Amino acid sequence: MAMTTSTLNRHELKTRQTHELLIRAAEKIFVRDGYAGAELGEIAKLAGRTKGAIYAQFKSKEDIFLALVEEHVVRYRAQMSEALGASTSIEQNLEALRKFYFKLSEDQALNILMLEFKLFAMRHPEAKKRFQRFFAKLVSSEREKHFGELLGQAGKGNIGRSQAVQVMQSLLSGLCLESRFDPELGEDVQRKVVARIFNALLNVSPPK
């Protein structure tokens, strides 16, 4: 019985390792080649696995692509919660969130991947529905109240806190794309743009 358990544990460990290798390889290939250009054979090769290893864990290219996007969304939300969880006031929460978005703006892989996903979902309604169902599980009906408590109430006529948080990532993706075309959009300029977008969306003054 002990040998069976040991064998099972080794098998589970190898499966998890393979899953992680495939996901990381898929991230690089999808960012490099886009969804349409990505090939499962390239993903398997980069991961050091066979193409069969992909089909053992994912049904299709679409399946591994959506799994990768879902992983990023979960990690993104966890990092945001961690950044806000260490603060003890609205002012500290706003500053923590500001720093979080500065860091997020530098994650080109995530920003390009999210752009690629949105283009993909726009052309594949079923994939869009799957992601919407996934996202619905993460979003509480008390989301606006929660962000209002953390960041202060939006105030009449302003964008809701939850909406501001949601749209911020989309704007960062667009900025990341533009920086690929315009050499004048260096890191310093991007940080200034991110700061202004943040201040405008959250309707807050820049830090002193």
Q: Which domains does the chain have, with CATH numbers?
A: 1-58 (1.10.10.60), 60-208 (1.10.357)
Mean pLDDT of 51-61: 92
Is 138 or 159 the better-scoring residue by pLDDT? 159
CA dihedral defined by 155, 156, 158, 161, rounded to 10 degrees?
50
Q: Which of 109, 108, 95, 100 is nearest to 81 (CA)?
A: 100
pLDDT of residue 7 exceeding 60: no
Determine contact, residues 95/152, Cβ cutoff 8 Å.
no
Determine contact, residues 113/75, Cβ cutoff 8 Å.
no
- Produce one character per residue of 180-190: b if its CB has 16 or more CB atoms within 10 Å, e if not: eeeeeeeeeeb
Q: What is the pLDDT of residue 2?
A: 45
Its pTM stands at: 0.80
**How many angstroms separate the CA atoms of 172 and 192, rounded?**
12
- With a CB cutoff of 8 Å and minimum separation 6, the contacts of 117 are 35, 65, 69, 131
**How many angstroms separate the CA atoms of 66 and 184, rounded?**
33
Tokens of 87: 């603060």
Tokens of 30: 């999808």
CA distances from 59 to 4, 64, 65, 182 (A): 28, 8, 11, 38
pLDDT of residue 137 exceeding 80: no
